[in-house]
C-alpha cells in the first residue's frame, strides 16, 4: 500500500517516520509524497589522469571528487552532461515497515534534470540525509538553488516489518550520512572478501 498525504501526516505525528525539517507542510506534503529540498553541499567529479575508476580502490575517490558548498540564495550551475552528487536538506528516518522511493519532480524533469541514476530506494531502517545523483540530460545549463524543492519521497507499506532493517547490524555503509557521500562500493564483500567471514546481503541504495 502506498501512503496518502493523510497517512504520511499520521506517521509523522506518531514519530515513527521522521522527515526534518519540514518548513512548509502545505507546500511540501503532496497527495501521496513529500517534496524534499536541495542542500548546500555538492560533490563534483573531475577529469583525472587515472585510466579508470575501479570499484575496489576507495583511495581513488579523493582524486576525482571535489566538494563544493553553495549557500542558499546562490546557484549551482548544472551543465549539459554533468554528473554531480547533491544532498537533500532534510534528514529522514524510515521505520522498519516502510520503504521510501526517491523520485524526481516533473517540473525539473521537463528541464532535463534527473535526481538519481539508480539509487531510488531508502530501505526500511535507513536514517540520514539522502544523496542525490544529479544529471543534466539537456543541451542548456540549469541553475539549481539550494533550498528549492528538488525531489520527492513516496512510501510503500510492507506486508510485515523487515526482520533485519538497514543499520549497524547489517554493516550498512551509508547509515547516518550527512551531506553527499561518494561511492563506498569498495567495501562490498565481492571486493574485499578477506574482511568478512560471511556474505553481506545489503544493497547499495540509501539504504540516497
Q: What is the pLDDT of residue 46?
A: 76
CA atoms of 59 and 67, how far apart (whole Å) = 16
- Report CA torsion sign: 108, 113, 117, 123: negative
8-31 pLDDT, tens digit each: 999 999 999 999 999 999 999 999
User: Domain 5-162+173-184 in CATH: superfamily?
Assistant: Deoxyuridine triphosphatase (dUTPase) (2.70.40.10)
Q: What is the pLDDT of residue 197?
A: 45
**pTM, two decimal places:** 0.82
**Annotated binding-site residue? 46:** no
Active-site entry in 41, 90, 133, 206: 133
Average confidence score pLDDT of the chain: 85
**Annotated binding-site residue? 197:** no
**Annotated binding-site residue? 110:** yes
What are the residue ranges in the chain where pLDDT is below 70? 47-50, 55-63, 119, 167-173, 176, 182-186, 188-189, 191-208
Q: What is the pLDDT of residue 77?
A: 97
Residue 124 near residue 99, CB atoms below 8 Å? yes
Q: What is the pLDDT of residue 201?
A: 47
What radius of gyration, in Å, describes the C-alpha atoms of the chain? 18
Q: What is the pLDDT of residue 190?
A: 72
* 133 flagged as catalytic: yes
Amino acid at each position: 500500500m502506498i501512503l496518502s498525504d493523510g497517512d504520511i501526516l499520521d506517521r509523522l505525528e506518531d514519530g515513527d517516520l521522521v522527515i526534518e525539517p519540514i518548513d512548509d507542510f502545505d507546500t511540501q506534503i503532496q497527495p501521496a509524497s513529500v517534496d524534499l529540498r536541495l542542500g548546500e553541499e555538492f560533490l563534483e567529479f573531475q577529469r583525472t589522469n587515472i585510466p579508470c575508476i575501479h570499484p575496489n580502490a576507495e583511495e581513488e575517490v579523493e582524486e576525482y571528487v571535489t566538494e563544493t558548498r553553495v549557500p542558499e540564495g546562490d546557484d549551482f550551475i548544472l551543465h549539459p552532461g554533468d554528473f554531480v552528487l547533491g544532498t537533500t536538506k532534510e534528514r529522514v528516518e524510515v521505520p522498519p515497515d516502510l520503504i521510501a522511493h526517491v523520485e524526481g519532480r516533473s517540473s525539473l524533469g521537463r528541464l532535463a534534470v534527473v535526481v538519481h541514476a539508480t539509487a531510488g530506494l531508502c530501505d526500511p531502517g535507513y536514517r540520514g540525509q539522502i544523496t542525490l545523483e544529479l544529471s543534466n540530460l539537456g543541451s542548456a545549463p540549469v541553475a539549481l538553488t539550494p533550498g528549492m524543492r528538488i525531489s520527492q519521497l513516496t512510501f510503500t507499506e510492507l506486508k510485515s516489518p523487515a526482520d533485519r532493517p538497514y543499520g549497524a547490524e547489517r554493516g550498512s555503509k551509508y547509515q547516518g550520512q550527512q551531506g553527499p557521500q561518494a561511492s563506498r562500493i569498495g567495501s562490498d564483500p565481492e571486493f574485499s572478501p578477506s574482511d568478512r567471514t560471511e556474505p553481506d546481503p545489503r544493497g547499495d541504495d540509501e539504504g540516497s
